[in-house]
Homo-oligomer: A and B are copies of this chain.
């Protein structure tokens, strides 16, 4: 009855350790040994479970994106009306779960990983596509044909805020981040309203 299946537990521990380690080091140049030690096991075991360093990195990236995606979906489910939907996306993007030192620090390095590893590139592309389609859906009722362009801007803005936060030495400030991107959205809507109204 016991014989608890440790595999998922260990894998999760490794994934989290990888994220933290990458964030702390600020680099992908972390050794499997460091990650394994942080996860409380031997490097050999890490290889046993993931087969390679790259696979571990990809799992870490997938994890971050999955959690992010889940949170966005959850927030969207509760949102009523376009404005609320935009808000939901923003809040999820800079929530305490996703906009953590760890994750933000790792994020930048996942971009670097995507330059080399096709699967990482694919994951990032999926994220961007999804974000864009969510934004467009929420924006269409508000700005009509402009939705696509506005979504692109907001997407870039989110990435830019993440990037800058990755460099800051203080803990990420979701509050301010939301305000910044929110202002861009507000401006876009206001401008659209001005034009149209």
Contacts and interface: CB of A to CB of B under 8 A. Distances in A.
Interface of A: 25-29, 105, 108-109, 111-112, 114-116, 121, 124, 128, 149, 152-153, 155-161, 163-164, 166-167, 180, 183-184, 186-188, 190-191, 193-195
Number of copies: 4
Contacts of A195: 190
Across the A-B interface, give the 7 residue pairs with the lowest CB-CB distance, nearest first.
A26-B115, A160-B160, A156-B160, A187-B187, A190-B191, A187-B191, A159-B160
Contacts of A161: 156, 160
Given A156-B161, A160-B158, A112 B114 contact: no
A154 B194 CA distance: 21
Contacts of A163: 111, 156, 159-160, 163
Contact of A153 (B121, B157, B166): B157
